[in-house]
Amino acid sequence: MPEEKQHRTVIAVTDGASIPSRKDAGLFTAWRVSFVGSVALLIYLSVFHSDPYFRILKFLPDGIFITFQVTVEAILLALIIGLFTGLGRISKNKVINGIASVYVEVIRGIPLLVQLFYIYFALGRFINVPAMASAVIAMAVCYGAYMGEIYRAGIESIPKGQMEAARSLGMSHSQAMLHVILPQAFKTILPPIGNEFVALLKDSSLVSILAVSDLLRRGREFASETFTYFETYTMVALVYLIITLFLSKLISRMEERLGVNQ
């Protein structure tokens, strides 16, 4: 009997945003309804119920800036950590591979909130790390473990013949990895990295517990002063939703430009 080819389906579910795609008509329509509805509701509340909604909106911009600052700094550091972790995970050196693997397992097994507390409060007994730096370091270390697995998967997706061909041209292993493998893997890993960026932006709300004046922290300050908790957190939620929906659309366009999954 002829052998039947087995098709393996990969199911990827993360805490990042749902990426709208025209291939998924339901999700694409849901994205448009959610985004347009959120923007329309934000404008309606700010114009027709300016007190307190517009006052709240004017109170949040610096918090939005801090949120993006923490997110961008953390994701850049996580990319560097993830690169070394991913290379360590595929290393044939047992010591390097073991260290990278232990790092991934330990960090992914500890909640981000606990890591924030540990770096800011627990390590604070020995070294004074500012709240902003603690937030960036904790989030970078946490997401660096996930980035490492993304790098590993991206590198392993490149046919082994590419490395062999590069070596046959006289390149060292490091040169082949830098000039041949990583540029090809970049196309594969860019969309998941974008997804992690959105997930990290949402998780950045946790840094408010360290007195970092991010979007959520500014909302809490306004609510505690005016006791308008419903109105304030409604605006905070809408701003977060609009930002994440907008970024998820950018990631979708990026995937289309790169021809991912086509």
- The answer to whether residue 204 sits within a structural domain is yes
- Through-space distance between the first and last CA atoms of the chain, rounded to whole angstroms: 33
For residues 45-64, give the mean pLDDT.
Answer: 94
pLDDT of residue 13: 46
Q: Is 9 part of a structural domain of the chain?
A: no
Q: 67 lies in a domain?
A: yes
In a domain, 131, yes or no: yes
Residue 7 clears pLDDT 60, i.e. is over it: no
Q: By residue range, what is the domain housing residue 63?
A: 25-258
CATH, residue 121: 1.10.3720.10
Residue 215 has a pLDDT of: 95
Is 86 inside any structural domain? yes
So what's the pLDDT on residue 18? 63
Rg of the Cα trace of the chain?
22
**Which pLDDT tens digit goes with each residue over 196-246?**
999 999 999 999 998 899 999 999 999 999 999 999 999 999 999 999 999
103-to-36, 95, 100, 120 alpha-carbon distances in Å: 42, 12, 5, 20
Q: What is the pLDDT of residue 20?
A: 64
Mean pLDDT of the chain: 86
Portion of the chain with pLDDT greater than 90, in percent? 59
Predicted local confidence at residue 11, as pLDDT: 38
**Do the beta carbons of residue 71 and residue 143 sit within 8 Å?**
no
> Percent of the chain scored above 70 by pLDDT?
88
**Cβ–Cβ contacts within 10 Å for residue 160, how many?**
9
Give the Cα separation of 255 and 262 in Å (integer). Answer: 9
Closest CA to 115 of 127, 106, 126: 106
**Rounded CA separation 186/42 (Å):** 37
pLDDT at 123: 86
* Residue-wise pLDDT tens digits, 141-195: 999 999 999 999 998 888 888 888 888 888 887 888 888 888 888 888 888 888 8
Give this prediction's pTM.
Answer: 0.85
In a domain, 235, yes or no: yes
- The full 3-state SS of 72-117, as one line of letters, equals HHHHHHHHHHHHHHHHHHCCCCHHHHHHHHHHHHHHHCCCHHHHHH
Residue 7, in any domain of the structure: no
Indicate if the pLDDT at residue 100 is higher than 70. Answer: yes
What was the pLDDT predicted at 124?
80
- Residue 10 located in a structural domain: no
Instruction: Report CA 28 to chain centroid distance, whole Å.
Output: 21
Cβ atoms of residues 104 and 85 within 8 Å: yes
What's the structural domain count of the chain? 1
Q: What is the pLDDT of residues 109-122, one digit of tens each?
A: 999 999 999 999 99
Give the residue from 38, 79, 52 showing the smallest Cα distance to 186.
79
Among 220, 84, 65, 209, CA closest to 140: 84
In the block, residue with structure tokens 């013949």:
161
